[in-house]
Structure 1
Amino acid sequence: MGNKQRYTNLIKAEAKRLGFLSCGISKAEFLEVEAPRLESWLKNNMQGEMHYMENHFDKRLDPTKLVEGSKSVISLLLNYYPENLQNTDSYKLSKYAYGTDYHFVIKDKLKRLLYYIQEEIGDVHGRAFVDSAPVLDKAWAAKSGLGWIGKHSNLLTRQVGSFYFIAELIVDLELEYDGITTEHCGTCRACIDACPTQAITEPYVVDGSKCISYFTIELKDQIPTEFKGKFDDWMFGCDVCQDVCPWNRFSQAHSEPLFNPHPELLSMTKGDWEELTDDVFKAVFKKSAVKRTKLAGLKRNIDFLKTE
Structure 2
Amino acid sequence: MAFDGVQVDGPSLVADIRHWADELGFSSIGVAGVDLSSAEPGLGAWLSNGFHGEMAYMALHGLKRARPAELVPGTVSVITARMDYLPASTPDGWQGIEFERLRRPGEAVVSMYARGRDYHKVMRSRLQKLAERIESAVGPFGHRVFTDSAPVLEAELSVRSGHGWRGKHTLVLSREAGSMFFLGEIYVDLKLPESLPVTEHCGTCQACIDICPTSAIVAPMKLDARRCISYLTIEHAGPIPVELRPLIANRIYGCDDCQLICPWNKFARKSALPDFDEREGLSGAQLVTLFAWTEEEFLRFTEGSAIRRIGHERWLRNIAVGLGNALRSTRDADIRAALQARAGHPSPLVREHVEWALVQ
Q: Same fold (TM over 0.5)?
A: yes
Q: Is the 8 A contact 2:168 2:222 kept in 1?
A: yes
Aligned counterparts of 2:249 and 2:320: Cα–Cα separation in 1:
14
Give the % identical residues: 38
1:10 aligns with 2:16: yes
Q: Is the 8 A contact 1:262 1:284 kept in 2?
A: no
- What is the correspondence of 1:265-280 to structure 2 with a 5 Å cutoff? 265-280=282-297
Number of residue pairs the alignment of both structures matches: 307
CA deviation profile, 1:41-62 (whole Å, cap 9, x unmatched) = 0111001111110022232111
1:122 Cα deviation (Å)?
1.5
| Matching residue of 2:256 | 239
Residue 307 of structure 1 aligns to a residue whose secondary structure is helix
Residue 158 of structure 1 aligns to a residue whose secondary structure is coil
1:277 Cα deviation (Å)?
3.0
1:274 Cα deviation (Å)?
3.0
**Which amino acid letter does the alignment assign opposite residue 289 of structure 1?**
A
**Which amino acid letter does the alignment assign opposite residue 16 of structure 2?**
L
| Matching residue of 1:259 | 276
Residue 213 of structure 1 aligns to a residue whose secondary structure is helix
| Matching residue of 1:19 | 25
Select the residue among 19, 23, 36 that pairs with 2:41. Answer: 36
Unpaired segments of 5 or more residues in structure 1? none
Task: Tell which structure's C-alpha radius of gyration is larger.
Answer: 2
1:17 Cα deviation (Å)?
1.1
1:96 aligns with 2:96: no
- Sort the Cα spacing of 1:2 and 1:220 in 2 relative to 1 into closer, same or farther, 3 A: closer
**Which amino acid letter does the alignment assign opposite residue 144 of structure 2?**
R
1:269 Cα deviation (Å)?
2.0
Aligned counterparts of 2:312 and 2:182: Cα–Cα separation in 1:
25
Select the residue among 63, 66, 75 that pairs with 1:61. Answer: 66
- What is the correspondence of 1:25-174 to structure 2 with a 5 Å cutoff? 25-29=31-35, 31-82=36-87, 83-84=89-90, 88=101, 89=104, 90-174=107-191
Unpaired segments of 5 or more residues in structure 2? 1-6, 91-96, 326-360
Q: Is the 8 A contact 1:262 1:285 kept in 2?
A: no
1:2 Cα deviation (Å)?
7.4
1:205 Cα deviation (Å)?
0.3
Deviates more, 1:275-284 or 1:294-303: 275-284
Residue 37 of structure 2 aligns to a residue whose secondary structure is coil
Q: C-alpha root-mean-square deviation of aligned residues, in Å?
A: 1.7
Aligned counterparts of 1:142 and 1:108: Cα–Cα separation in 2:
23
CA deviation profile, 1:106-157 (whole Å, cap 9, x unmatched) = 1110110111111111232110011111100000000001100000000000
Q: Is the 8 A contact 1:28 1:73 kept in 2?
A: yes
Aligned counterparts of 2:190 and 2:239: Cα–Cα separation in 1:
47
Deviates more, 1:62-71 or 1:195-204: 62-71
Aligned counterparts of 1:2 and 1:67: Cα–Cα separation in 2:
22
Q: Answer 1 or 2: which has greater helix percent.
A: 2
1:67 Cα deviation (Å)?
2.1
TM-score after normalising by structure 1:
0.95
Residue 56 of structure 1 aligns to a residue whose secondary structure is helix
1:32 Cα deviation (Å)?
2.0
Aligned counterparts of 2:63 and 2:42: Cα–Cα separation in 1:
13
- What is the correspondence of 1:167-246 to structure 2 with a 5 Å cutoff? 167-246=184-263
**Relative contact order, higher structure (CA 8 A, sep 6+):** 1
Q: Is the 8 A contact 1:58 1:65 kept in 2?
A: no
1:278 Cα deviation (Å)?
3.1
